Structure 1
Amino acid sequence: MLDQDLARIHAHRSNLHRYRRLLKTKLSDIERHFIERRLAEEQAALEALAADAFPVALTLPRTPSASAATGAER
């Protein structure tokens, strides 16, 4: 299952790269709107897949720890 998820993540990342590269070219308004919409859809799909495949999120505390605060005061 993990191999399939990683392959899908790779496909989404490749699509995102391609769409970003296309946006740097000369496009009609209709083409640009389509590419921007697809870019947003791919980004959302990648985020959803990553959250599903890797549900554990590591977050850093927003406030400095007591040891870091005392070290900064010296």
Structure 2
Amino acid sequence: MVDRRLEQLRAHRNNIRRYRRLLSTKLSDLERQFIERRLSEESSAMEALAADMPPLIHERPSLSVGRSEGTSP
């Protein structure tokens, strides 16, 4: 399940890169509008997918550094 979602995230990321590259080329107004719309859709889909995924890395509680109470120096 996680592998499939990661694959989908990579696909969205690759599409976003491709659309950004295309926007740096000479395009007609209609082509530019289409690519900007697709870029927006891909970005939204990627954000929604990422927000729906559980975190892959769990933070560990920090261990206190120093002496514990009740110990002598």
Identity rate of aligned residues, in percent? 64
1:10 is matched with which residue? Answer: 10
How many Å apart are 1:54 and its aligned residue? 3.1
User: Residue deviations 1:27-49, cap 9 Å, x none?
Assistant: 00000000000000000000000
Q: Name the larger-Rg structure.
A: 2
Write out the 4+ residue segments of structure 1 that deviate beyond 4 Å after TM superposition.
none
Equivalent residues in 2 for 1:1-74 (5 A)?
Answer: 1-54=1-54
Which stretches in structure 2 are left out of the alignment for 5+ residues? 57-73
When normalised by structure 2's length, the TM-score is 0.73
RMSD: 1.4
Q: Which structure has the highest helix share of the two?
A: 1
Which stretches in structure 1 are left out of the alignment for 5+ residues? 57-74
2:44 aligned partner, one-letter code:
A
**Whole-angstrom CA distance in 2 between matches of 1:54 and 1:22:** 32
**Whole-angstrom CA distance in 2 between matches of 1:37 and 1:4:** 25
